[in-house]
Every structure is written in C-alpha cells, then in structure tokens.
Amino acid sequence: MKRILVVGEDALCCALGEQLVLAALPGWAVAGQPIDTKGVTKLIPALPRYAEQARFVQPVLCIADTDGHCVKEWLHRNSPANGHQNLLIRLAVTEAESWLLADQEGLAHGLQVEKRRLPRAPDDVLDAKGALLQLLTKSKLRYIRDEAVSPTDRTRQGPGYNLHLSNFVRAFWNAERARESSPSLARAFKNLQKLGDGNA
C-alpha cells in the first residue's frame, strides 16, 4: 500500500488532509500520524525538509490557509527552492473552515446547524472561521455551543474547537460533496489525484 505524509498548519488542516487522502487516493494510506505544525509560521520554515522527504522517502501533502492572501503569491513567496513533484502544498481559500462550510449536508447533520444558514460559496467568505463560529453558537448540540465556541467571547474559538471539528471531519465531512462548493478544495482534490497517478 502506498503512503503519503500529511502535514497541516493546525489539527483541523491535518484532519482535512486525512480525509482528502481517503477520498482522492483510494488504496493509499496516511503515513503515521499527521504532523500538526501548530501554525503556518512553523510550517513554512519546515517546507524544505518536507520537500526532501517527498523527494527521497514518500509523497507529502501540506495543507494551510491563505488567510486572505493570493494563492499564487503565497506559493511564490513560501514554496521551497528544493520543491519536488511529490510535495503537494494545498491552500484553503481563505481558511480551512471554508472547506468545512462547503459540505452543507455534513455540517447540518454532524454539527446540528441549520442548512439554510450555510454560505453557498464558502471560498468567497472573507472570515470563514468567524462564519463557522457564528453557526456553532446556534448548534443544537450543547457540547458544541459550550466547548467549540468560547463562553466569554462568542466570536472566538473555545477550548474544544480543534478537537470537536477534527472529530466532525473524520466522522461526517465528505470531501466529494464539499469540493462541489469549494473551487480551492476541488483543485486540491484534483492535484492529489494527479499526484497519485504519477506514483502509480
């Protein structure tokens, strides 16, 4: 079985990466535990190391947010000089939460939020995390309202944010459905499949 290392700027990006691999690369597996770099500022300096791993060991999928920056500029500024075809850097426009919002059916069912409140074009939402937090305050699941959203500031993530959203991604989020509403996710899916075809 072929393996791919998943690296994300946070736990949510790691969970999304795992599910993308499962959906786009049937017959492949994630190599060990995904690596959570705990922030893009720690991910970027590590990219040359991941490029070396992609060149000599196994393919690597890195997922980060654009945080409102132009994708091409971000890649031009941050891609390692020693890049390799087996290093796939994919950026969620504008945040990983955009990719979550793209699976309306999964969100409505898994996080018990009203489907009619979900944005139709999540990549166009400037503050996808803020939009998701607002939705979570209205969840029918008390533990989501109380733990994923800060009890003192409802516009900020709570202590259970990454845990609960990562669990949601693994149990309910569907990359196939989500890519229909998110062009950046559709590109990530397509490029991951292309990487798989190149390593057949």
**What pLDDT, on the 0 to 100 scale, is given for residue 14?**
98
**What pLDDT, on the 0 to 100 scale, is given for residue 72?**
92
Q: Where are the domains of the chain?
A: 2-95+180-198, 98-176
**What pLDDT, on the 0 to 100 scale, is given for residue 137?**
97
> Which residue carries 């992609």 as its tokens?
54
> Which pair of tokens denotes residue 135?
């939705």
> Which residue carries 């139709």 as its tokens?
120
**What pLDDT, on the 0 to 100 scale, is given for residue 68?**
86
* CATH number assigned to the domain with residue range 2-95+180-198, chosen from the 4 options 1.20.1530, 3.40.50, 3.30.1380, 1.10.3470: 3.40.50
**What pLDDT, on the 0 to 100 scale, is given for residue 170?**
97
Query: SS3 helix, strand, coil % of the chain, rounded to 5?
Result: 50, 15, 35
Q: What is the pLDDT along the chain (200 residues), one digit of tens a residue?
A: 999 999 999 999 999 999 999 999 999 999 999 999 999 999 999 999 999 999 999 999 999 998 888 999 999 999 999 889 999 999 999 999 999 999 999 999 999 999 999 999 999 999 999 999 999 999 999 999 999 999 999 999 999 999 999 999 999 999 999 999 999 999 999 999 999 998 87
User: How far, in Å, CA of 120 to CA of 135, rounded?
Assistant: 14
User: How far, in Å, CA of 138 to CA of 149, rounded?
Assistant: 10
**What pLDDT, on the 0 to 100 scale, is given for residue 108?**
97
**What pLDDT, on the 0 to 100 scale, is given for residue 86?**
96
Looking at the DSSP assignment, which residues form a beta bridge with residue 2? 28
Q: How far is CA 130 from CA 67, 76, 95, 137, 149, in A?
A: 12, 28, 10, 11, 10
125: phi then psi, degrees, rounded to nearest 5? -80, 120
Rounded to 10 degrees, the C-alpha dihedral 12/169/179/141 comes to: -110
User: How far, in Å, CA of 152 to CA of 99, rounded?
Assistant: 27
**What pLDDT, on the 0 to 100 scale, is given for residue 133?**
97
Helices 11-24 and 161-171, axial angle in degrees (round to 10): 10
**What pLDDT, on the 0 to 100 scale, is given for residue 143?**
96
